[in-house]
Amino acid sequence: MSYREEIRPWSTFVGDMRHALNGPDGNSGLRAKQGAGLRILTETITSPSLAAQLKGILADLPQAKWHQYEPANRDNARAGAVMAFGEPVNTIYDFSKAECILALGSDFLACLPGSLRYARDFAAKRRVTREREEMSRLYVVESTPTTTGASADHRFSVKPTEMETVARALGFGPGCRLQIVSPNG
């Protein structure tokens, strides 16, 4: 870790935080001010455990503020959800139920919130067992090599400017609604 261009060990950070929380006399720090002046900056948190820990800190220090920021944010995913579903929803995929997957410019195995869960569910459906003799299929259309593309049964490389044309050719045009159909109907 570095502080003002000086490399410091983690233990120094922990000591500095304890000092800031408790103050030089043990009673006058941020804790005495209920966290007033403390700002916590993180990337978007999708881990329930980490979110619970941060909420615990905010419960102990109610004047502290938690800010989440992503320089490359998910505004377009949110806008797409509004277009598709009429409201801003978080898309959560269930690859444990998918027999055939089409990824259009999506590296769901490495770069999405929940990617560890997605990778585990995807891998489980790729495992051939006595109960299931067929594995799921993955088709990827992408403009840059990704982990998901490397795992695909069929990968198609296109220019970024061609992605919309591919989506439209597959029938994903304006007004298109995706329909999820279970094997039982």
pLDDT, tens only, 126-185:
888 888 788 889 999 999 999 999 999 999 999 999 988 888 888 765 655 444 433 333
Q: pTM of this prediction?
A: 0.56
Where do the structural domains in the chain lie, given as residue ranges?
Answer: 1-32, 38-73, 75-169
Q: What is the pLDDT of residues 98-127, one digit of tens each?
A: 889 999 998 999 988 788 999 999 999 988
Q: State the Cα–Cα distance between residues 94 and 122, nearest whole angstrom.
A: 9
d(CA 13, CA 8): 8
**CA–CA separation, 69 vs 146, rounded Å?**
24
pLDDT of residue 182: 33
Alpha-carbon gap, residue 11 to 14, rounded angstroms: 5
